Amino acid sequence: MPAGATASPVDPAPARRGGRRRKLGAYVALTKPRIIELLLVTTVPTMVLAERGLPDLLLVLATLVGGTLAAGSANTLNCYLDRDIDKVMHRTSGRPLVTGAVTPREALTSGVLLGVASVLWLGLVVNWLAAGLALAAIAFYVVVYTLGLKRRTPQNIVWGGAAGCMPVLIGWAAVIGSLSWAPVVLFAVIFFWTPPHYWPLSLRYAEDYGRAGVPMLGVVADEAVVTRRVLVYSYVMVAVSLLLWPVAPTGWLYGALALVLGAAFLLEAHRLDRRARRGLRGRELGPMRLFHGSISYLTLLFVAIALDPLLLG
């Protein structure tokens, strides 16, 4: 550098922008976006079924925004309350509260604000029944599941999973303004779907949950016991899905697709059970095949719920 020259000042703006983006990304990660996506997949078809056709698109958008805020609130508060066990589980060790990207106070504040925003948004823009259901879902997931059940009983995911069933009630209430047997059946489908969806994951990460002291069924029970219970819930889930046929009422398209999808789900559940009874364990058992397959099942089932009134209504 020539004598007398001074160094050009470094512009701090890009660094600040990068820091803000990382912070925003951490807040978003707390809401568990992949879980929210699955919840919203059930909301829109429910609204189509309630309307027996395409509902008002602005209503759909408003309901999705409110549902996203509510789920984000519940998941953020769950991360806040579970930050101690997230530190010792490999599967959750990268979450923002573990890495320090977000402080506990920031997470708690964000979770509460998202919850308040979701209830006010749904109440003022959609209707107060939908808002009340959203509030109930947040409270149930945070208080009943996270604080009450998760660390105390292997039945945690069975009853705690009820919070994940609420989007179908919210979607129906958004369109109709009341509830009926059809959304109750949809609620039951997701309720009985949750254990066959989550218990294979508990088998895959049994060591993680055991180290954290969380009594998931895959930790406290033998693999064969878990897969037998998966089978029981799977059969009930398929039976309940067919109950929607006369209750909604839906047409032959939904009935046919529900039968095919249910048969495929049961086939994979039986394969998992046979592998467990042969003594296969860990990765050889392959529980994640049913876990990923269960996501496809629920998605396609609700696609069928939407297509039936659109094509046959």
Residues 179-201 pLDDT 10s: 999 999 999 999 999 999 999 99
Average pLDDT on 203-214 reads: 90
Residue 21 confidence (pLDDT): 86
Average pLDDT on 228-253 reads: 95
- Beta strand extents in the chain (DSSP E only): none
Residues 84-120 pLDDT 10s: 999 999 888 999 999 999 999 999 999 999 999 999 9
| The pair of three-digit structure tokens given for residue 36, joined into one six-digit string | 């929210």
Kindly indicate the confidence band of residue 37, based on its pLDDT and cuts at 50, 70 and 90: confident
Average pLDDT on 75-80 reads: 96
Read off the DSSP letter of residue 274: H
Cβ-based neighbour number of residue 235 at 10 Å? 16
Q: Which fold has domain 31-177?
A: Tetracycline Repressor; domain 2 (1.10.357)
Q: What's the pTM?
A: 0.91
Closest to 261 in 3D by CA, of 295, 306, 227: 295
For the chain, counts of helices (H) and of strands (E): 16, 0
Closest to 205 in 3D by CA, of 53, 64, 85: 85
**Spatial distance between the Cα atoms of 274 and 278, rounded to a whole number of angstroms:** 6
**Spatial distance between the Cα atoms of 229 and 252, rounded to a whole number of angstroms:** 30
